[in-house]
Amino acid sequence: MPLDYGFVFYPEAGGRAGSGALVRPLDVIPATSHSIGEAVAALKVVTDTPRDAPLKIILSTQALAKDMTERLQRWEDRGWIGIAGSQVLRALVNKLRQRCAPTIFGKASNSAEYTIRNNACDLAKEQFLAQTTTTIRLSIDKAFDLTGAKLSTLTQAIAYRGIRDRLRLQDRPRTAGQVQRTTDNSKGPGLRAATTAELWTSIRHKDFHRKIVDFLWKGMHEAHKIGPFWAHISGYEERADCPTCGCRETLRHILTECTATGQALIWKLTQNAWRRRSKTWRTPSLEDALAAGLGRYPRGVGEKPREPLARLWRILVSEAAYLIWKLRCERVIGHEDDPEWQHSPTATIQRWYASLNRRLQLDLVATRRSFGRLTVSRRLVWSTWTAIVGDELGLPEDWTLVPRVLVGIDPEVCRIEEDPG
């Protein structure tokens, strides 16, 4: 069921029978990965129960119980800023504070409570299929509402986020269109489409360095100064077209379509490296490159996802896309006086090889314990790059301990069918 649905179960004698109601908030709740279904159900039952009657709410998990106990003080101190599903949780807290009898939250702990939970699941499915839904208003009594953030715990980051939440920001049409295309593209066999929040978070993945994050962020906003940017500037209209292909230059054209030396060759080299670990490959599209942080690599039917492969996909695709962009800028901007100038195949291969070697060395350095909590697991680095490093049979079993000058990408990965000259 959708995350904003909850189910209230009213058991009769022994919990063998009963009635229930499928509930959801009447107000519109922004999409979130935080499940608020149990909070909606709890709000309904707290509203229906007399304030002086003891109440025990049986949950499927301990998440809501921790929300109402361990996390509540911290959330109220920050004024509920940035808390997913805060509208429902805040309304629930408000109702609970109006009660004068104890309220207990907990998972099912005996056979009778397990029976109640199972009966509730069955009734929830029936009512969901029958589309029988009860809406509940998220009303708040101001006399029992704690408002604002606590100054002693407020940080500049939280305050800035609170200001942004209060502003009515409007999506740029081009950004919204690119985000929609990217999330739609992320859906695959056995995979749901990524949410907008997951997509934006993936752009700042810890496996990306800052320049790649900036490149992907601008790509999602269509903010690179290419193509349409120049088309409306008098005297610079010719910059809107690709000097090699003669068509309108877009980021999609640069990364996947341009015939200038670099684009196709870099993806070929990336394919060679990827096939060392997986036989399933597809040339990444613009949407694949922008969503590389999700780690949704091409998989065979029935193949389970593995984090080392997801991490390798993030690194290979992001480094390849950024290198293609850099080569384009060098060709179009650095050598604009010579429109016929292009990188040679040999230089392109050397640049790709150097970029991956540099990324491997960063991983090896990041395994040092001196980085504290930022230290990258040696096992993760080993499982990411194994079968891609050169002379692996001649290296120790744990080659992450070897001085970095002795460990590098296998030069055979750069072998291609065409002779680069």
Res. 392: pLDDT tops 60: yes
Q: What is the mean pLDDT of the chain?
A: 87
Instruction: Report the candidate in 66, 75, 73, 78 with the shortest Cα–Cα distance to residue 35.
Output: 66
Tell me, yes or no, whether 132 and 36 share the same domain.
yes
pLDDT at 82: 86
Instruction: Provide the angle, in degrees to the nearest 10, between the axes of the packed helices 173-185 and 196-203.
Output: 90
Which helix or strand (DSSP H or E) is residue 272 part of?
helix 263-274
Which helix or strand (DSSP H or E) is residue 21 part of?
strand 18-25
Cα(116)–Cα(12) distance, rounded to whole angstroms?
9
Across 67-74, average pLDDT: 91
Cα within 13 Å of Cα(401), Cβ side:
4
Residue 263 lies in a domain: yes
pLDDT at 87: 86
Least confident segment among 12-16, 139-143, 266-270: 12-16
Tell me, yes or no, whether 344 and 240 share the same domain.
yes
Tell me, yes or no, whether 136 and 179 share the same domain.
no
Q: 83 or 131: which carries more pLDDT confidence?
A: 83
pLDDT at 395: 86
Q: What is the CATH number of the domain that holds 139?
A: 3.30.420
Tell me, yes or no, whether 113 and 259 share the same domain.
no
**Could you tell me if 364 and 378 are in contact, meaning their C-beta atoms sit under 8 angstroms apart?**
no
Res. 25: pLDDT tops 60: yes
pLDDT at 189: 74
Q: Which of 122, 144, 166 is the last residue in one of the domains?
A: 144
Res. 143: pLDDT tops 80: yes
Tell me, yes or no, whether 139 and 186 share the same domain.
no
Tell me, yes or no, whether 401 and 333 share the same domain.
yes
DSSP 225-285: SSTHHHHTSTT-GGGGB-TTT-SBP-HHIIIII--STTHHHHHHHHHHHHTTT-S------
Confidence of residue 223 (pLDDT cuts 50, 70, 90): very high
pLDDT at 12: 66
Res. 227: pLDDT tops 80: yes
Cα within 13 Å of Cα(103), Cβ side:
23
Tell me, yes or no, whether 96 and 190 share the same domain.
no
Residue with tokens 């002779």, as numbered in its chain: 419
Residue 156 lies in a domain: no
Residue 265 lies in a domain: yes
pLDDT at 379: 94
pLDDT at 26: 72
Across 359-388, average pLDDT: 92
**Could you tell me if 359 and 315 are in contact, meaning their C-beta atoms sit under 8 angstroms apart?**
yes
Instruction: Report the candidate in 287, 174, 171, 164 with the shortest Cα–Cα distance to residue 221.
Output: 174
Tell me, yes or no, whether 136 and 240 share the same domain.
no
Domain count, the chain: 2
What are the respective helix, strand and coil percentages of the chain, to the nearest 5? 50, 10, 40
Q: Which of 129, 144, 159 is the last residue in one of the domains?
A: 144
Residue 419 lies in a domain: no
Cα(357)–Cα(317) distance, rounded to whole angstroms?
15
Do you know the residue count of the chain? 421
Residue 246 lies in a domain: yes
Which percentage of the chain shows pLDDT scores above 70? 93
Across 393-412, average pLDDT: 83
Q: 350 or 82: which carries more pLDDT confidence?
A: 350
Res. 2: pLDDT tops 60: no
Res. 31: pLDDT tops 60: no
Residue 150 lies in a domain: no
pLDDT at 421: 44
Q: Which of 94, 129, 144 is the last residue in one of the domains?
A: 144
Tell me, yes or no, whether 240 and 375 share the same domain.
yes
pLDDT at 416: 76
Tell me 333's DSSP state: I
Measure the CA dihedral 252/253/257/261, to 10°. Answer: -120
Across 62-84, average pLDDT: 89
**Could you tell me if 269 and 413 are in contact, meaning their C-beta atoms sit under 8 angstroms apart?**
yes
Chain segment 153-200, per-residue pLDDT in tens: 899 999 998 988 888 767 789 999 999 999 999 987 778 889 998 999
Q: Of 228-242, 304-318, 387-401, which has the strongest mean pLDDT?
A: 304-318
**Could you tell me if 89 and 83 are in contact, meaning their C-beta atoms sit under 8 angstroms apart?**
yes
Tell me, yes or no, whether 379 and 244 share the same domain.
yes
Across 257-266, average pLDDT: 93
Across 276-302, average pLDDT: 92
Helix, strand or coil for residue 337? coil
The pair of three-digit structure tokens given for residue 299, joined into one six-digit string: 């998989």
Res. 399: pLDDT tops 70: yes
Cα(23)–Cα(307) distance, rounded to whole angstroms?
37
Tell me, yes or no, whether 289 and 394 share the same domain.
yes
Residue 389 lies in a domain: yes
Tell me, yes or no, whether 121 and 195 share the same domain.
no
Domain span at residue 47?
A: 6-144
Across 231-254, average pLDDT: 91
Res. 33: pLDDT tops 50: no
What are the residue ranges of helices labelled H in 368-407?
378-385
Q: How far is CA 193 from CA 304, 306, 330, 383, in A?
A: 17, 18, 36, 27
pLDDT at 1: 43
Cα(378)–Cα(271) distance, rounded to whole angstroms?
25
Cα(78)–Cα(36) distance, rounded to whole angstroms?
20
Across 13-36, average pLDDT: 63
Res. 419: pLDDT tops 70: no
Instruction: Report the candidate in 186, 207, 375 with the shortest Cα–Cα distance to residue 287.
Output: 186
pLDDT at 112: 82
Residue 149 lies in a domain: no
